[in-house]
Amino acid sequence: MVGQKDSVDKELVERVRRGDKRAFDLLILKYQHKIISIVGRYLGDRNDVQDVSQETFIKAYRAIPNFRGESAFYTWLYRIAINTAKNHLVSKSRRPPNIDIDIDDGEFQDSSAVLRDNESPQASLATKQMEEVIFRAIENLPEELRVAVTLREFEGLSYEEIARIMDCPVGTVRSRIFRAREAIEQKITLMDND
């Protein structure tokens, strides 16, 4: 299945290289939600997220002639998105926000809604508090840990894909994710003890 997705992306990339702008529109449609989601993990302002996501696709379009296909297209695109978000923060002379990421955005909306429908108000409040603690813990992680755990837990990427995006060995990715999960677990334990 992954191979089939890669071959579709490769065909679309080749069509873009031959001047077919509609092929790039298909790539945008395919990946825009994932790019918005990953950029949103860096930036708190919705307008910034939209701008940086759009800038990511513009950079990708311009760089497509240089895409060698050594990694999957979406791995390459994610790397552009992460770098564009980092550059945006540097240009604004600021670090990622501590608590401004909208919990209701992205994949959490669906899973939270299902939990809320089956829970008492007290359990729902506890779930919301737990989500906030987890998000705050993730936001306060050092950048390399935050990126690794975000790509794994929220984007569902494999260790190998994350290694390509972060340009480091798979063992380093595993270590970063382990350390990130440990830090998050410590925050949850502190919450439970309060």
> Is the pTM above the cut of 0.85?
no
Residues making up the chain, counted from first to last: 194
- Whether 151 contacts 163, CB under 8 Å: no
Residue 120 pLDDT: 56
Tell me the three state secondary structure of residue 120.
coil
Instruction: Say whether both 67 and 120 belong to one domain.
Output: no
DSSP state of 66: G
Instruction: Say whether both 10 and 67 belong to one domain.
Output: yes
Give the containing element (helix H, strand E) for 167.
none
> In angstroms, rounded to a whole number, what is the distance separating the alpha carbons of residues 4 and 1?
5
Instruction: Say whether both 144 and 190 belong to one domain.
Output: yes
- Whether 177 contacts 148, CB under 8 Å: yes
Tell me the three state secondary structure of residue 103.
coil
**Domain of residue 20, CATH code:** 1.10.1740.10
Q: Name the nearest CA neighbour of 41 among 89, 74, 111.
A: 89
DSSP state of 64: G
Instruction: Say whether both 53 and 80 belong to one domain.
Output: yes
Domain count, the chain: 2
Residue 95 pLDDT: 52
* 94 alpha carbon, distance to own chain's centre: 19
- Whether 77 contacts 36, CB under 8 Å: no
Residue 187 pLDDT: 79
Q: Name the nearest CA neighbour of 150 among 58, 161, 110, 73.
A: 161
Residue 109 pLDDT: 34
Q: Which of 79, 97, 115 is the last residue of a domain?
A: 97
> In angstroms, rounded to a whole number, what is the distance separating the alpha carbons of residues 67 and 70?
8
Residue 55 pLDDT: 93
Instruction: Say whether both 54 and 125 belong to one domain.
Output: no
Instruction: Say whether both 16 and 73 belong to one domain.
Output: yes
What domain range is 126 assigned to? 103-194
**Domain of residue 107, CATH code:** 1.10.10.10
Residue 68 pLDDT: 85
pLDDT in tens, the chain (194 residues): 445 566 788 888 998 999 888 888 888 888 888 898 888 888 877 888 889 999 999 999 999 998 888 888 988 999 999 999 988 888 876 554 443 333 333 333 333 333 334 445 665 666 667 677 777 888 888 989 888 888 887 777 888 988 998 899 999 999 998 898 888 778 777 766 66
Instruction: Say whether both 55 and 117 belong to one domain.
Output: no
Instruction: Say whether both 92 and 55 belong to one domain.
Output: yes
Instruction: Say whether both 91 and 1 belong to one domain.
Output: yes
